């Protein structure tokens, strides 16, 4: 089995790896690091939780160990789809560059432009950014990308889902043609393949797992939920969720609960807290400081349940997540793989349970086709209360009795004179006939008189 010491990494990088407690590279690291150190382009395809971040940070640090950064011209660039993933990549660089004098800057939303500009002005070896904030700095004239030697695109399929592909293409065009490109994705959609064909030059392709497959260490299950009345479905699902968490007992040391919509994330988190669970929400609409505070609490164990939207589905490296609960079935089958990939990382065991309502069965079928296996069905932990049984003959008996009584009523009826309709003229009499009762069959006598007769009268 290959060890990190055999990969020609910088000795100071190897020392940091050893201090971090790692000895053996994962398959994606073993496949990607050697060609990256040779200066070749790399196309890495692997599921989440396989160590993709280290597979590009380690060779980058080794290649950048010599040289000096110039003001506003970073030597390398790492593009990430979300703030959380960018922050995690920055933490990896801090871990592995502790014995080297390399500088970095993190460009993400929610942080002051002035603070970021001050770092760029001093010159950075590694620039880690989300596409939008990077282009903001470029358009302000505060950043030049002509000095980029190494460019990394991480979680490219997530970039596609979030609509960043046009930004990625523009950023590629702003960097030198001679750059080295390290490109990583969990899946290879046709749009991703087009980009790799356009911007990568004879890349070394490393694929360590089937596209969009779930780790074998994750125990999966699905609860088929019948919601009944639509207005009570959401509360019924939350009740099932609480029962599933309780059923796991002490095995559920911590868990990420995924919802499809941000509003449901907030509602679900508030509901769990109301029932005494240690839970908090995280999604894209929260302030960056609040998001980081929530993630830090989940990492250090002070927060047990993290209710999240898909913004947290990829790239979060929290090694010891014991469970994932899908409150909603994801609309895209690939997102299911990324969600449950938050547990069972680095060879650990994990469990993922999904709640599936009737309208989500098509999405569940798509997931099972993608992962090429049937997800075991689990019993609903919330038992439905039995409905009181009604006597079978009760309704027919009432119906027959009603018919008989109706017949008796009809027999006893006597023909009645039609009532006079209510109106102004009821009960009035004049010289021209009986009381006026209407304009139907009853014609008042004065109307039948001729004009001369009426004048004479």
Residues 270 and 290 in one domain: yes
Percent of the chain scoring above 90 in pLDDT: 55
Is the confidence at residue 408, as pLDDT, over 90? no
Look at residue 383 in the predicted model and tell me its pLDDT.
74
More reliable by pLDDT, 288 or 426:
288
Residues 19 and 158 in one domain: yes
Residues 258 and 171 in one domain: no
Q: Are 130 and 162 in contact (CB under 8 A)?
A: no
Average pLDDT over residues 380-399: 57
Residues 65 and 182 in one domain: yes
Q: Are 155 and 314 in contact (CB under 8 A)?
A: yes
More reliable by pLDDT, 107 or 415:
107
What stretch of H or E contains 281? strand 279-282
Q: Are 312 and 285 in contact (CB under 8 A)?
A: no
410 domain residue, yes or no: no
Domain boundary among 362, 378, 394: 378
452 burial via Cβ count (<10 Å: 0-12, 13-18, 19+): exposed
The DSSP result for 331-351, as a single string, is SSHHHHHHHHTTSSGGG--EE
What residues make up the domain containing 29? 4-207
pLDDT-wise least confident of 272-281, 300-309, 419-428: 419-428
318 domain residue, yes or no: yes
pLDDT, tens digit, 9 for 90 and up, residues 238-250: 999 999 999 999 9
More reliable by pLDDT, 392 or 304:
304
Is the confidence at residue 439, as pLDDT, over 90? no
398 domain residue, yes or no: no
Residues 168 and 104 in one domain: yes
Look at residue 130 in the predicted model and tell me its pLDDT.
95
For residues 330-343, one letter each, b for 16 or more C-beta atoms within 10 angstroms of the residue's C-beta and e for the rest, the string is beebbbbbbbbbbb
195 domain residue, yes or no: yes
Q: Are 425 and 435 in contact (CB under 8 A)?
A: yes
Q: Residue 46's closest CA among 187, 156, 245?
A: 187
Tell me the C-alpha distance between 234 and 151, whole Å. 45
Number of structural domains in the chain: 3
Look at residue 214 in the predicted model and tell me its pLDDT.
74
Tell me the C-alpha distance between 350 and 185, whole Å. 23
Average pLDDT over residues 61-90: 91
Domain boundary among 138, 173, 207: 207
Q: Residue 290's closest CA among 269, 276, 272?
A: 269
Look at residue 71 in the predicted model and tell me its pLDDT.
87
Residues 235 and 145 in one domain: no
Residues 192 and 334 in one domain: no
pLDDT, tens digit, 9 for 90 and up, residues 116-161: 999 999 999 999 999 999 999 999 999 999 999 999 999 898 888 7
Tell me the C-alpha distance between 356 and 239, whole Å. 14
Is the confidence at residue 431, as pLDDT, over 70? no
Quick one: pLDDT band at residue 199, thresholds 50, 70, 90?
Answer: very high
Quick one: pLDDT band at residue 428, thresholds 50, 70, 90?
Answer: very low
pLDDT, tens digit, 9 for 90 and up, residues 155-169: 898 888 788 999 999
Is the confidence at residue 324, as pLDDT, over 90? yes
Average pLDDT over residues 265-291: 90
399 domain residue, yes or no: no
Domain with residue 102: its CATH number is 3.40.50.300
Residues 226 and 352 in one domain: yes
Q: Are 437 and 420 in contact (CB under 8 A)?
A: yes
Domain boundary among 184, 207, 230: 207
Residues 144 and 277 in one domain: no
> Bridge-partner residues for 326, per DSSP?
258, 354
Tell me the C-alpha distance between 283 and 311, whole Å. 6
Q: How many CA atoms lie within 13 A of 113 on its CB side?
A: 12
Tell me the C-alpha distance between 79 and 59, whole Å. 16
Residues 225 and 346 in one domain: yes
Quick one: pLDDT band at residue 111, thresholds 50, 70, 90?
Answer: confident
Residues 141 and 245 in one domain: no
Q: To the nearest whole number, what is the mean pLDDT of the chain?
A: 84
Tokens of 277: 């669970």
Taking residue 373's Cβ as centre, other Cβ atoms within 10 Å add up to 12
Residues 327 and 193 in one domain: no
Quick one: pLDDT band at residue 420, thresholds 50, 70, 90?
Answer: very low
pTM: 0.68
CA 266 to chain centre: 13
């Amino acid at each position: 089995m290959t060890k990190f010491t055999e990969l020609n990494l910088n000795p100071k990088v190897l020392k940091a790896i050893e201090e971090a407690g790692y000895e053996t590279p994962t398959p994606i690291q073993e496949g990607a690091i050697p060609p990256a150190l040779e200066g070749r382009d790399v196309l890495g395809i692997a599921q989440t939780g396989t160590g993709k971040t280290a597979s590009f940070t380690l060779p980058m640090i080794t290649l950048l160990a010599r040289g000096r950064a110039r003001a506003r011209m970073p030597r390398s660039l790492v593009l990430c789809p979300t703030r959380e993933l960018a922050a995690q990549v920055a933490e990896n660089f801090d871990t592995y560059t502790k014995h080297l004098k390399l500088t970095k800057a993190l460009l993400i939303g929610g942080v002051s432009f002035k603070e970021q500009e001050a770092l760029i002005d001093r010159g950075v070896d590694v620039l880690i950014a989300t596409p939008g904030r990077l282009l903001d700095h470029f358009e302000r004239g505060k950043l030049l990308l002509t000095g980029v030697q190494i460019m990394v695109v991480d979680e490219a399929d997530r970039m596609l889902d979030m609509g960043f592909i046009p930004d990625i293409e523009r950023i590629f065009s702003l960097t030198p043609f001679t750059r080295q490109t390290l490109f990583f994705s969990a899946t290879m959609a046709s749009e991703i393949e087009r980009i790799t064909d356009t911007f990568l030059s004879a890349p070394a392709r490393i694929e360590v797992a089937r596209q969009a497959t779930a780790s074998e260490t994750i125990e999966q299950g699905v609860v088929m939920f019948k919601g009944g009345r639509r207005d009570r479905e959401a509360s019924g699902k939350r009740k099932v969720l609480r029962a599933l968490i309780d059923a796991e007992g002490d095995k559920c040391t911590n868990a990420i609960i995924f919802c499809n919509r941000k509003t449901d994330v907030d509602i679900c988190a508030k509901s769990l807290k109301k029932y005494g669970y240690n839970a908090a929400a995280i999604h894209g609409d929260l302030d960056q400081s609040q998001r980081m505070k929530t993630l830090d609490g989940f990492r250090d164990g002070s927060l047990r349940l993290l209710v999240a939207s898909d913004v947290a589905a990829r790239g979060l490296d929290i090694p010891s997540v014991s469970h994932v609960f899908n409150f909603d079935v994801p609309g895209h089958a690939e997102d299911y793989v990324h969600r449950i990939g938050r547990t069972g990382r680095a060879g650990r065991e994990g469990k993922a349970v999904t709640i599936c309502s009737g309208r989500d069965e098509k999405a569940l079928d798509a997931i099972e086709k993608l992962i090429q296996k049937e997800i075991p069905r689990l019993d609903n932990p919330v038992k439905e209360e039995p409905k009181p049984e009604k006597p079978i003959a009760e309704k027919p008996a009432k119906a027959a009795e009603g018919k008989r009584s109706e017949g008796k009523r009809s027999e006893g009826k006597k023909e009645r004179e039609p009532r006079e309709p209510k109106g102004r003229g009821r009960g009035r009499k004049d010289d021209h006939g009986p009381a006026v009762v209407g304009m139907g069959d009853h014609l008042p006598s004065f109307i039948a008189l001729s004009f001369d007769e009426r004048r004479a009268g």
